[in-house]
Structure formats: structure tokens, C-alpha cells
Amino acid sequence: MLNNLAHDFSAAAWIFSALYGWLMLRRTGSAGNTEGHRVVLVLNQWVMRLSFIGVMLFGVVRYVFYRDYEWFEPAGSSQVTMLIVKHVIFAVVVVLGVLVYVSVGRFLKQTDTKEE
């Protein structure tokens, strides 16, 4: 159960960080660059990396032990279909998050060179 909590928490942190990074990019694009924005965006990048690693590591453990601890016999094989659908949706969320992560990285690199 603790592994499931860590996996779900990591997934939530990824989604929140991607959304927050996107919102911060929109704000910094119109309001100019401040050191505060840079600090928050750097921290956000760190949270995104950590949460992505958490999703992957805890997800592997969840996958390995799914049949032993989470399989619900009355649902049968339909739960596999639902897991596939859920992971396709989350794959889209991950791709969008990676796009935000790369955009924030580019923004930080551009603003870093402008300050020097």
C-alpha cells in the first residue's frame, strides 16, 4: 500500500509540476524575467525529475506485485483493459509534461545567457 501511495503521489507531483511549469512560463513570458521566477522554475524542474523517477521506480514494483496484491478477481480481465486505457491517457500527460520540462529548460538557458 505504501508503494501504491508513493506511485500515485509521484504521478500527482508530475501532473502538478507540469501544469505549474506551464503557467509560470506563460507568466514569465509576459511579465519579464525575475530572479524569483528562475528560482521557482529551477525548483519545479527538480520536482519534475524526482517525480518522474518515482513514477517509474514505484510503477515497476507495482507492476511486479499487481497479481498478488491488487488483482480483483470479480473484475477479471476487464481491469487489464482499464489499466491500458489509464496508461494511454497518462502517456499523453507524460508527453505534455516532457514538452513543458524542455520548454522550461530552454527558457532557463536563454535567461541565464542574457544575465551574463
pLDDT score of 72 = 79
Whether the Cβ atoms of residue 13 and residue 55 lie closer than 8 Å to each other: no
Residue type, 28: T
Give the up-direction half-sphere exposure of residue 108: CA atoms within 13 A in the CB hemisphere.
19
pLDDT score of 17 = 96
Tens digits of residue pLDDT in 60-105: 998 898 878 787 788 788 888 988 998 999 999 999 999 999 999 9
Closest to 24 in 3D by CA, of 8, 47, 54: 47
